[in-house]
Structure formats: structure tokens, C-alpha cells
A and B are shown apart, each in its own frame.
Chain A
Amino acid sequence: MLGTTILLSLREIRRHILRSILTTLGIIIGVAAVVTMVTLGNGVTASVQEDISALGASNFIVFPVRTTRGAIRPFDDADVRAVEQQIAGVKIAAGGVGASATAFYNGQDWDTRIEGGTNPLLEAQTIKIKEGRPFTRDEEEAGKNVCLLGLKVRDEIFPRGTSPVGARMRLGGVSCQVIGVMEERGQGGGQDDDDVVYMPLKTVQRRFRGNDNLDYFVVKYDAAYAATTIQDALVDLLRERRLLQGTEPNDFNVIDTAQINQALSAVTGALTAMVAIIASISLLVGGIGIMNIMLVSVTERTREIGIRLAIGALAREVRLQFLTEAVVLCALGGLVGIALAFGASFGLAAVIEVPFVFDPVINIVSFVFAASMGIVFGYYPAHRASRLDPIDALRHE
């Protein structure tokens, strides 16, 4: 009986295909908007979490900032060593600097970033070596011209299928030997984390920057310690080392990677909630459209209802027929919306460079919600159909 009713509904919908599409547009747009936004939101969250885990869990990033007092005062290696040695619970403190240069090999060139760091910095940022080896202590201390390539750089200047390890290439005016290739890290914070070359900290300071300054340093601490305890100790130590008086503001920032995560998921959550509100308005309008078209359909088919009642259909069977039609219409709208959302979020995820994360829950929930719109807004027209008087209905022209 229900199967027959569903087939009947599909036939009715097909008979008025344009009308059906226009009617369900509100539902289609509502569902597509919700599913797309949630899917992209998941992608953004995943991307952020990937960045955070690339920075490492239980990490602080410390960097100098400009205050009203004047120029930026950079950190140096002595600050990093003081943090590592004087604060209980700190496992690693490692500084880094950045530069940019053009990479050359065998007639190929590529503009890229150069990061200076030591093995502990690579470890704190969970960078892994895909082939080759990390820096040696000697290379780090002497500031040797050796480098680790990001995948992007390798692909741009080395021929496919060849290993760059052991090759001698040039970065700007500096010749260096490739000792390894780093594993893929993907997009993060608006830059391609594979479009980079790592060299020992001292090499970059000397050859590219010409001083001993650090752009930032990373503090990795023991998870057994409270983040706030470490952070307070860190701020106190750095204020003391930078001779900041009582009320003077910090001329540096300490960022807790866990906090970035929380802040970003709060933003994503707020955006999702806003879209949900807009989408529910769209769904409400869509639902009213469904009710309208079902009322039209009941009027158009008054005679048919009269025939069905005369040959013995019960009121609830007529109601079920029209209710099923409304639900099938809404469910089809939901399916179309989900399909559109799949395409849209897949495309948009590529455009805004976040991973496409398919979330079955939001897809199922949206579908069920769309279908239940059919019950809510189809009930009144269906009820009206079921209350028709068979004699009047048969006389209806």
C-alpha cells in the first residue's frame, strides 16, 4: 500500500515537473546552504587543527611585537636558552627565522621561502623527513650550507622520478647541498607548507639575514604541567630579561596553540549558527510553498478524491496519499539540495584551500529534516482532502 502510494506520488510529481521543481526550490536552497556551510566549516576546522598539530600540541609560539615605545626588539638565542633552562616543565625551546630566495637547479628556478631552524624546531613542529636525513649537530653549530626540501620545491626544480638527495643546488647567492626531503604537510595559515626550504638556523642568520636575531621561538612543554603556569612563568622571565617595568605592556606575544584552536572553532561555530538561521528561513518559505502547491493539488484533484472515497478509500488513506506526496516532494528536494551541496562544497573547498570533509551526519539530518517539512506543511492540505464529502467531490468540475 505504502509502496503503491509512493509510486503514485512520484507519478504526480513527474506530471507537474516544472511546478514541482519551483515548489521545492526553497527546500533545495535551504538544504544546500546548510550542508555546504557545515561541510566547509568542517574543512576549515580540519585545516586549522592540521596547522595546530603541525605546530605541535602543548606548544607556545613567542614572537616580538611593536608597542607604543618604538621598534620591535627581536629575541636571540640567549632568550631561548634561558627559557629552556630556567622554566620548569619546558621540554624544548627552539628559535626560527625566515627569509625568501630563488632556488636554482640545472636551469630550473623557483621563488620560495627559506626557514632557518634546528632539529628540535623541526621536532616541535612535527616535521618528518621523507627521504635523506635531518641536520647533524656539526651542521647546525657550524652553520653549514645544507638544506631540506619541501615537496613543492623538489617538484618544481628537480626532474620527476629523480632523488634530489646529495645534489648541489643554489638558493639566491648561496650554494647548498640537499640532504633530505620533508614529508607532505599541505596548506596552512594561508601558505603552502610544502613550498619551503629548511636550512640550519645559523646558516640562514648568517647568509640571508646578517644578524643573530630570531623571528620567533617555539616552546614545547610537558603536558603534565598546566598551560597557564608555564605561560605565566614565560611572561615573567621574558619581561625581566627585556627590562620591562611594572605597568609597561608586553612587547611580545605568547600564543597557546590550543587557544588558536578554540578561538577558530568559536568563529566557525558562530558562522554555522548564522547560516543555520538563514537556512531555516529559506526552509520555512519553502515549506509554505509546499503547503500552497499541495492545496492547489487537492483542489485540482477533488474529483479524483471523490472517486477514491466512493470506491471505499478511508479518510486516513486519502490523507496518507497527499501526505506521502508532500513528503516525497520534500525528500526529493532534500536529495537535490544534498547533491548540490556536495558539488558546491567540493568546489569551494578547493577554492579556499581547505580539505573536503564529508560529514554523513549533517547530510542525513538535513535529509530527514527536509522530509519532515513535508509532514508539517503537507498535513493541513492532506487533512482537507480527507475531509471532502464524496458526493460534492464527485460533482466538482
Chain B
Amino acid sequence: MTAAPLIELEGITKTFGNGAAAFQALKGIDLTIDRGEFVAIMGPSGSGKSTTMNILGCLDVPTGGVFRFRGVEVQKLDRDQRSLLRRRYLGFVFQGFNLLARTTALENVELPLVYRGEKKHERRAAAMRALDQVGLVPWASHTPAELSGGQQQRVAIARALVTEPDVLLADEPTGNLDSERSVEIMELLQRLNGEGITVLMVTHEEEMASYAKTIVRFRDGLVDRVDHGARGRADARAPA
């Protein structure tokens, strides 16, 4: 059985606004990402990398083109169907951590499981496993305000992992961290990728991108170049 690619983008365009004020952020993106990949998306501001990330995260839909995720054409799905897709297959890590304030690390990690309707003791056990993966079990009952930036981001990663997703989407995950913490986070993402999870990351730092297997460079709404990360293992399949 030949597995279909996990993610396929074909001629993806995205236009914001209409008429004279219309702005075409994506001008036809073709990209294929297989299971087990670690892709870094790079590019200057306005190059379309965040827009692409939002589409890949099923948070936004393209104006034109076809986006297949696990063979499903995502651009045809409605809001709630895309929510269900995110809930089941995707985990998100954001630049600003985006943890719920005044809520313990454990409860933050449990949150996605609440929407899956899992029982309390199962949620708790799964959340503790995820916290263990990021080395934060001793901090389970602390709130974000009591944690350092690096720890908060690791809680966010645990929250993304707790549903055992196919894909981890990280939008500038080290953007708010110093270089030492950034390296910790990148090594963590690399380790998780080694355990089988597909990682998609947006970054503007070459050093962070070098941890990825594949680096996709955007320019003016198009894919400019595809490289291999210096510290990653290169086996990405990019379109010619």
C-alpha cells in the first residue's frame, strides 16, 4: 500500500479584501509534505508564510486551489468540519504561547481533551503523559504566570501533543524566547519529530530553521526555494 502524501497544496491562492483594495497574499503555492517531515517555512514579512500556515492549520481557507489533508479536500469543508479536523489531527504551538491565564499547566494541557469528551481521569492521565514528554511534571499545578517563557512554551507543546496529533504546527515558537531556551524548544521539536510526529514550523531565524529536515523559503506569495536543514535529516519531497 502506497500511502498518499499527508499534505498536498496545489495552486493555492489567497486574496484578502476585494476590488481596488484587494491584496493577493498567495499567488499559487504547490507543496507536498509527507508523514514524518519536519518543515521550516521561512521568508520575509508579507511573503505569505503565515497565511500558508493558517491554511495548513485549517484555520483559514484558500481563495483558489486544492488543499488535501489525508486525502480530504479541506477547502470544501465548513467551519465546524475544519474544527473537528483540528481537534483530531492537529496540534498548535504559537509565538505568544496562548495558554489560558489563571489556569494550571495540567488544566491547559487537558483542554483539547475536554472537547473530545474524554472522562476526567483519562484526561488527567493523558495530560500528565504529555507534560512528562516535555519534562514539566513537577510544574503541573502551576499557572502560566508562575512559569518562565520556555516552560510556558513547553506547556503549550504538551497541549499540542496531548491529542496525539498527526501534525504539530508551530508559528514562530521561539519568537518570544532567548537563544538558550530557543535551542531547548528546537531540540524538543526535533526529538518529537524523531518519535514520528510531522512538524510544520514558521520561523524567520535561520538558526532555528536549521533544525528542520526541509526549509521552504517564501517570497512574494510564492515558494522561492527548498533547502535541507543543516542539523536536520533531509528527505523532504518538494515539487520540481
Chain A residues close to B by CB (< 8 Å): 1, 4, 15, 303-304, 306-317, 390-391, 394
Contact = CB atoms under 8 A, between A and B. Distances in A.
A1 B59 contact: no
B102 interface: yes
Contacts of B173: none
Closest 9 CB pairs of A and B: A312-B87, A312-B86, A311-B112, A314-B80, A307-B98, A314-B83, A390-B59, A313-B115, A312-B83
Main secondary structure of the interface of B (DSSP, over half): helix
Contact of A310 (B79, B80, B86, B88): B86
Given A390-B59, A391-B54, A391-B60, A311 B159 contact: yes
Interface residues of B, number: 25
B57 interface: yes
Which of A1, A4, A307, A315 is packed against the most chain B CB atoms within 10 Å? Answer: A307
Contact of B115 (A303, A317, A391): A317
A312 B59 CA distance: 10
A308 B83 CA distance: 10
Nearest to A310: B92
Given A311-B159, A314-B84, 17 more contacts: A4-B114, A306-B98, A307-B99, A307-B100, A308-B115, A311-B87, A311-B92, A311-B112, A312-B86, A312-B87, A312-B90, A312-B112, A313-B83, A313-B115, A314-B115, A315-B79, A391-B59
Nearest to B80: A314
A11 to B, nearest CB: 9
A15 B59 contact: no
B17 to A, nearest CB: 14
Contact of A1 (B86, B111, B114, B159): B114
Contacts of B69: none
Q: Most B CB atoms within 10 A — which of A1, A310, A315, A316?
A: A310
B100 A310 contact: no
Nearest to B169: A310
Given A303-B98, A394-B98, A311 B111 contact: yes
A203 B63 CA distance: 107
B156 to A, nearest CB: 10
A318 B66 CA distance: 29
B115 A311 contact: yes
Interface string B77-121: 001100111111010101000111010000000011011010000
